[in-house]
Amino acid sequence: MFKANENYAKLPGSYLFSTIGKKVKEYSNAHPDAKLIRLGIGDVTLPLAPSVIAAMHSAVDEMGKAETFRGYAPDLGYEFLRKAIIDGDYKAWGVDLDIDEIFISDGAKSDSGNIGDIFAADNRIAVCDPVYPVYVDSNAMSGRTGNYDKASEKWSNVTYMPCTAENSFVPELPKERADVIYLCYPNNPTGAVATKEQLQKWVDFALANGSLIIFDAAYEAYITEKDIPHSIYECDGAKKCAIEIRSFSKNAGFTGTRLGFTVVPKALVLDGVSLNSLWARRSGTKFNGAPYIIQRAGEAVYSEAGRRETREMVAYYMNNAKVIREGLKDAGFDVYGGVNAPYIWLKTPGNMTSWEFFDYLLETVNVVGTPGSGFGPSGEGYFRLTAFGSLENSLEALERIKNMKG
């Protein structure tokens, strides 16, 4: 008799952004005239860059002619894209990578969720708290997180590393066991960054303990300050303990175009096994590559024009971030992030919980954000706004929130 994966029944609710989507839809249906401003899910709004559009038109034409048609892509992705990534994303920061260390995928969410396939069942994961829900949920689905306790909103077998204003949202090294450590800098949701010195401590810890670091660098393009590492491989020894996950969603607006990649260095040998080989085996068996057309789109991001155009997009969003951050500060809010990241993280006013503030904002001023507690228990009392809207909407949302407070 078929038995279902019993771990799914332990999950406390639906995926965070599905819940928010449902709530907003219900409100919207009940109030069809409300002019909602959506600064909740981290979805971009600017159209794709002209170079990317041109590259896709050209690739589409290739697919329509017998001489240039492409069938199955190489397992790990096309070399033209992997080479562009190595040259464009890593050489600039002094990191040398081999082409076989880059795995092209359909996005960082898939990679973040699927990477657990190569972990043994009894690893203990350690996550920042608050954190991007996919890390914990995907491990919960594999039975790696123990049981969920409703009161504390914690899993019994997860090492939580609180990130609050008190530690500037960079956690202490864990005192509990931590076999797999998830780090994300610039951080989603807090917008915090780690300095190279701080990150090196984590690498040293992982090397000393035989831990694996999963480093999510999806927001790397938003770093504006110097001395903030763009890749974990800028730290000594990181190739021996870290996997890095990257995305085209936020630097080039590919949320609906789907492209990402994961770096698994050949030097990454843990538990006597090459994780590069394991991930290659996983990818070769359960994945069939990103579309050729989309890989050409990714390549165009690294062209001279593509770089210029996507940098302008990032600058546009970062201007929104500045406007929201400074505006909320002036209005008396405690505000974090928004300097090296497209997220503004704020303390909820009064003693409102995160979800109370979510409902209040939605109903009073029709602004959608993300409740901090949705990212983990230490996110309670915080709230996330994204800079991915238009400048006009960001300004209007700000005005509405200011007036609401006053």
Which helix (H) or strand (E) covers residue 347, if one does?
A: strand 343-347
Judged by CB under 8 A, the chain residues 372 through 391 that form the site for a second copy are none
The reply on whether position 57 binds a second copy by CB under 8 A is yes
Q: How far apart are CA 300 and CA 49, in angstroms?
A: 9
Q: Which stretch binds a second copy (CB under 8 A): 85-93, 131-139, 166-174, 225-233?
A: 131-139
Residue 11: both structure tokens together: 């999950």
C-alpha–C-alpha distance, residues 390 and 38, integer Å? 10
Handedness of CA 173, 175, 176, 178 (dihedral sign): positive
Decide if 15 contacts 133 (C-beta within 8 A): yes
Least distance in Å: CB of 286 to a second copy? 3
For residue 46, what is the DSSP state? S
Give 73 or 404: the residue with its C-beta nearer to a second copy: 73
Which of 109, 144, 230, 296 touches a second copy by CB under 8 A? 109
User: Shortest Cβ distance from residue 60 to a second copy (Å)?
Assistant: 5
**Number of CB atoms found within 10 A of residue 72's CB:** 8
Report 299-318 residues binding a second copy (CB under 8 A).
none
CB of 351 to a second copy, least distance (A): 32
Three-class secondary structure of residue 139 per DSSP: helix
Going from the C-alpha of 253 to that of each of 219, 324, 348, 386, 404, the distances in angstroms are: 12, 20, 29, 14, 32
User: In the set 114, 157, 164, 303, which binds a second copy (CB under 8 A)?
Assistant: 114
Measured from the CB atom, is 273 or 305 closer to a second copy? 273
Give the residue with the Cβ less far from a second copy, 50 or 332: 50
Nearer to a second copy, 188 or 257 (CB): 257
Closest CA to 161 of 342, 384, 347, 375: 375
Token pair 């698994």: residue: 264
| Contacts to a second copy from residues 64-83, by CB under 8 A | 64-66, 69-73, 75
Give the shortest CB-402-to-a second copy separation in angstroms.
Answer: 26
Q: Which is nearer to a second copy, 348 or 370 (CB)?
A: 370
Which position among 77, 289, 306, 369 is part of the footprint of a second copy (CB under 8 A)? 289
What is the maximum span of the chain, computed from C-alpha positions, in angstroms? 66
Piece of the chain touching a second copy by CB under 8 A; list 138-146, 308-316, 332-340, 372-380? 138-146
Are 169 and 341 in contact, with CB atoms under 8 Å apart?
no
Torsional sign, CA 252, 328, 184, 147: negative
**Pick from 8, 96, 236, 391: which binds a second copy (CB under 8 A)?**
8
Task: In angstroms, give the least distance from the CB of 227 to a second copy.
Answer: 29
Which of residues 128, 131, 293, 324 is near a second copy by CB under 8 A? 293
Closest CA to 81 of 103, 63, 66: 103
Q: Which region, judged by CB under 8 A, interacts with a second copy, from 79-87, 112-120, 168-176, 221-229?
A: 112-120
The residue among 249 and 378 lying less far from a second copy, judged by its C-beta, is 249
Minimum distance from residue 352 beta carbon to a second copy (Å): 28
How long a stretch of residues is the chain? 406
Reading the block at residue 81, the tokens are 């894209």
Region binding a second copy by CB under 8 A among candidate stretches 83-91, 116-124, 325-333, 360-368 = 116-124
**Interface with a second copy: number of residues (CB under 8 A):** 84
Strands 382-386 and 370-371: antiparallel
Identify residues 171-230 at the interface with a second copy (CB under 8 A). 179-180, 209-212
**Any bridge partners for residue 382, and if so which?**
347
**How wide is the angle at C-alpha 150 spanned by C-alphas 16 and 372, nearest 5°?**
40
Binding flag, residue 151, a second copy (CB under 8 A)? no
Q: Does 18 bind a second copy (CB under 8 A)?
A: yes
Tell me how far, at minimum, the Cβ of 130 lies from a second copy, in Å.
Answer: 17
Three-state secondary structure call for residue 23: helix
Binders of a second copy among residues 228 to 287 (CB under 8 A) are: 253, 255-258, 270-273, 275, 278, 281-282, 284-287
Nearer residue to a second copy within complex by CB, 32 or 272 = 272
User: Which run of H or of E encompasses 50?
Assistant: helix 50-63
- Of 25, 31, 34, 61, which lies in the binding site for a second copy, with binding defined by CB under 8 A? 61
Task: Tell me how far apart the alpha carbons of residues 274 and 280 are, in angstroms, rounded to a whole number.
Answer: 10
